[in-house]
Structure 1
Amino acid sequence: MSKIDDVAKLANVSKGTVSNVFSRKRPISAAVAERVLEASKQLNYIPNHIARSLATKQTMTIGLHIPFVNHIFFNSFQTHIISGITSHAATRNYRILLDTISQQDLDLPNHSSLPMDGAVIIDPTKEDERIKLLHGVNMPFVVIGKPSNSDIEEFTYVDNDNVQIGYDTCKYLIEKGHKHIMFLNAPEAMTVSVDRKKGFEKAFEEHHVEQQSYFHHFKPSLKQESVDFGYNKTLEMLGDLQLKVTAIIADDDQLAMGVLRALSALKLAVPEEMSLIVISGDPSIAQKTEPLLTTMDLRPFYLGEMAVNMLFRKLNIAKGTVSNETIVQASIIEKGSCRSIIAN
């Protein structure tokens, strides 16, 4: 295993400078820090505290990395995943360390200084910096969601089949006679949203339904509130532009709440005048709306449990081989927010 002396020699700096890059005790120029990090990556260098953790497992801690932006707020899907993670971690007396560093502030020293044996990453984005940085310090990790980092060849992840989810939700509405379906999706930067869009479009193609440009919309950014996006986009499409839409697919329950507010403002009743289905929906919230919302059961609690189980196997805490990919099947929970418009 490489030592700090080797990194210092390759980066042409002192051992103290290498230590400061990782400990952040003193300011280091960007050029020098980059040189040290590149040398560390080439040599597969692991800072001492991480090496001790990986060798002894004494931290008994798993890092949980969620992409925060402006504030800490969990949607129901994330909340259920976290419950699954903490529940399964507790079976081995492991604690969860929640990483509250925003996407903009990510850097390797911050990650390498966290006292943890491994990590779980939620909601991966394209070329995700969290994955890149944890991979760079050889920290064992599992991703919930399909990773998309072009410079890393092998991942361990658990996910739903999101192409199938996009397909199934659209197919469900098409089979009820809907041909003008609007999908309000997550931000394009998230790998899950791209896959769901593929499935959405595939359903139209296979059922020979003509697609319109206004049928699909990515949320502009992670920073925008889902409620606001659902409300504003629905008002714009159905109110201002008066486009023909008979059914809406909402990516999560917060977005669906915005859609319902907009439909109420437009005096459009669900499901009589507009059908609505939620993908990442919380069954408890769906039971409190009027009408009850049709949702997809993505089994988020089980996703969290599986991620920790896979991580424990990577850490040699649990027995069994580590599969690079584990897919958890989803299903539609039909309630009262979608209606058939097929003429009898």
Structure 2
Amino acid sequence: MPRSHDPSLTYSDVVVWKNLMYDIDKKENLSSRSGDRDDLSTSKLLDDVNNPKAARFQPTVFTSWDQSDTLPTVLRYIVEPYVDWARRVVRTPTDVVFLTHILLYTSTSVPSAVRLFFHFTWTHGVFHWLMTSYYCGAFTIMLHNHIHNNGVLASNLAFVDRLWPYLLEPLMGHTWDSYYYHHVKHHHVENNGPGDLSSTIWFQRDDLLHLMYYIGRFLFFIWFELPLYFHRKGKRSLAIKCAISELGTYAFIYLAARCNLRATMFVFLIPLLQMRIGMMVGNWGQHALVDEEEPDSDFRSSITLIDVPVSIYDSPLHASESITPTSRQFTASSTSASHFADQRSLV
């Protein structure tokens, strides 16, 4: 039967999607497939797209459209000169999109927030919140890459690479460094197991009351439970840093509210509430279907989404993310297809 994919998918997304559709259409065994669309050729194509020395190399510049969709004049005189410069600024030539978004947020969200504190209007406040709602998903994916790879910019810009999260995190609903401490130092260690503070295994995942309890616990107690978790694990340095980052952000928001409560609501408080609810709903969905026989399996404790442009509050390639570096996830999703099938991963 004819199939179509989401038009917002990136080129790499489409390559993986077509590869999987080929499996379904041909109804062939993964291990015996051959042809232009087999796993090895798909892997080679994805590697070429991410290899600056390959003819097919395509740096990601925007998330809403590909360079091939750009008007030729705009591409030649604006996009290509920008890409040539940006590839020297980012750490990995494929990741121009990160610089694009850093520039986007600092040139729109930051001045808009400052303006609200000096000249607040309700209309501006609502539009600022809507803008933040649109931005926060892509920002979180960028932050996810930043914390897993210890930065996204070139080494000579290490100071800027260290600074921009502190500037932008509170504007996008994150407290300083909390995503790093919870996601890298906690969630990836416990892997939705019994020791994971955001584990779903204790809950009935089709029960609304259980979901409300799950969200409420994170909203009101994570500031205390996460430092306590590190303390119990003997990681006292992490416990102290985590507590200082979280409570320090709350203190900053409190001081901002003393200056302008209405601006603080739209710039910091509503995005924080929205982000934390979104993160918990996203994690609940990623870990809603857990194999009771092997609940801590990287393959059977989460789901992998293919036909989506981006998962706003969580990684769509969730199973792959647990075992593969971020930059290799599309290739891994293709070359490891048979392994995913053997492990009964839900894709």
TM bucket, shorter chain: under 0.3
Which structure has the greater CA radius of gyration? 1
TM-score (norm 2): 0.22
